[in-house]
Homo-oligomer: A and B are copies of this chain.
Amino acid sequence: MSERWLKLTVAYDGTAYAGWQIQPSHPTVQATLMEAWRAITGEQVTLTASGRTDAGVHALGQIVGLRTASKLECARLVQALNAKLPEDVVVTGVESAPNGFHATHDALTKWYRYQIHNSRVRPLMDRRYRWHLPQTLDVRAMQAAADLMVGRHDFACFETTGSERSSTVRTLTRVGVGQGGAAGEKIDFDVEGDGFLYNMVRGITGTLVEVGRGAREPQWVAEVLASRDRRNAGPNAPAHGLVLVEVRYA
């Protein structure tokens, strides 16, 4: 039987899910996609993803790989999947992938965005997607701190303990601080790199916010990085402000 590999681009609102990875007794994005795929093709398929996202984390461009015997055209699969999927999961594209494509192993870079609502008044339409911080944040100080994170560093200071990785060295190509909204209330951290440790972007966010609220000077980030000790960085920001924006492959 002839098979082929496909690459799905998937967006989801993580609010109602216990994260990407399938688990018993909790709704997950992976199980939801598997079920939609089964309903359309009859196949019980194995899905790879660029990475797990935690409970409550969102995605605009999660990449999912699979191997299928289905002959359905890519455009038809997009339509059929979106017709089966619940309103909080959307497949934005399906395309052919090279033989043996594995969304986790083949990923070259990932881009995460952490979204803050910086206003004394809490957010309304964005309330599921932004962390509400009422105190004024100094955007320039946060960008100065963010600049110190760009490049190849040992990011052990931002890794939540318990994970087992051979190396905690990663390269960040971008740590940008953006500001938007009518009153400058939308503050976004765009973090792009070749790999991320567990809870790394949420740790980076909590650390930048320490600088933004004036509790620390930007230069403090250099000390935190050099210490390689999670206890020296800021607290992890909550999951609901984090979005996996884009993943690149060769």
Q: What is the chain B residue whose CB lies nearest that of A126?
A: B125
Chain B positions within 8 Å of A13 at CB level: 124-125
Within the complex, the shortest CB–CB distance from A196 to chain B, in Å, comes to: 22
Q: What is the chain B residue whose CB lies nearest that of A85?
A: B122
* A11 in complex: contacting residue of B60, B87, B90, B124, CB < 8 Å: B124
* A129 in complex: contacting residue of B11, B78, B90, B125, CB < 8 Å: B125
Contact assessment for A121 and B87 in the assembled complex, using a CB-CB cutoff below 8 Å: no
Contact assessment for B88 and A121 in the assembled complex, using a CB-CB cutoff below 8 Å: no
Q: Complex formed: what's the CA distance from A33 to B81 in Å?
A: 41
Q: Complex formed: what's the CA distance from A92 to B124 in Å?
A: 10
- A82 CB-CB contact with B under 8 Å: yes
Query: How many residues in A have their beta carbons less than 8 Å from beta carbons of B?
Result: 21
Contact assessment for A121 and B12 in the assembled complex, using a CB-CB cutoff below 8 Å: no
Q: What is the chain B residue whose CB lies nearest that of A91?
A: B121
- A127 CB-CB contact with B under 8 Å: yes
Q: Complex formed: what's the CA distance from A11 to B124 in Å?
A: 7
Q: Would you list which residues of chain A between 79 and 123 have a CB under 8 Å from chain B?
A: 79, 82, 87-88, 90-92, 120-123
Contact assessment for A12 and B124 in the assembled complex, using a CB-CB cutoff below 8 Å: yes
Q: Complex formed: what's the CA distance from A90 to B58 in Å?
A: 24
Q: Complex formed: what's the CA distance from A13 to B11 in Å?
A: 22
Chain B positions within 8 Å of A124 at CB level: 11-13, 60, 88, 90
Interface of A with B (CB < 8 Å)? 11-13, 58, 60, 78-79, 82, 87-88, 90-92, 120-125, 127, 129
Pairs A–B under 8 Å by Cβ, sample size 20 = A11-B124, A12-B124, A13-B124, A13-B125, A58-B125, A60-B124, A78-B120, A78-B121, A79-B120, A82-B122, A87-B127, A88-B124, A88-B127, A90-B121, A90-B122, A90-B123, A90-B124, A91-B121, A92-B121, A125-B129
